[in-house]
Amino acid sequence: MPITPLYRAVAETARAAAFEDSRFLPVTKEEALKLEVSLSVLSRLFPILPEAVEVGRHGLVISLGARRGLLLPQVTVEHGWDRETFLEQTCRKAGLPLDAWRMGATVEAFTAEVFSDSDVQVPC
């Protein structure tokens, strides 16, 4: 069960991504006008066997101890990855060895409904 209403989670996450992600400088006003927005609404996580992962359909969360990595379903399509590469790259994102999914890490999947600013129709 979600702990925050979707509209609030979207607003808080967008603000954090724009201004608090230590990997990037904060977004400027000029950049904000050029941003393309994409929103992925995730299903609940469910356990999945690695061989059941469907590229382009499932997103993944792989965790071991305090480390956890998440990649969206569309990432595999954008990069042309196969199932094994997807599992390895999710491990990499978690800071785990690439083969952690074979060595006892927890593998969970989700699906995502994706919305982008190109889906929004503004009346003229």
Residue 56 tokens, joined: 């382009």
pLDDT of the residue at 6: 87
Cα–Cα distance measured from residue 106 to residue 93, given in angstroms and rounded to the nearest whole number: 14
Domains and CATH numbers, the chain: 1-35 (no CATH), 39-119 (3.30.1490.150)
Angstrom CA distances, 5 to 12, 44, 66, 114, 116, stand at 11, 15, 26, 17, 19
Cross-strand pairs, 113: 41
Neighbours of 106 (CB within 10 A): 13
**CB-based contact 40:75 (threshold 8 Å):** no
pLDDT of the residue at 1: 64
Task: Give me the average pLDDT of each 10-residue run along the chain (124 residues).
Answer: 84 90 90 88 96 97 97 95 97 96 97 81 46
pLDDT of the residue at 109: 98
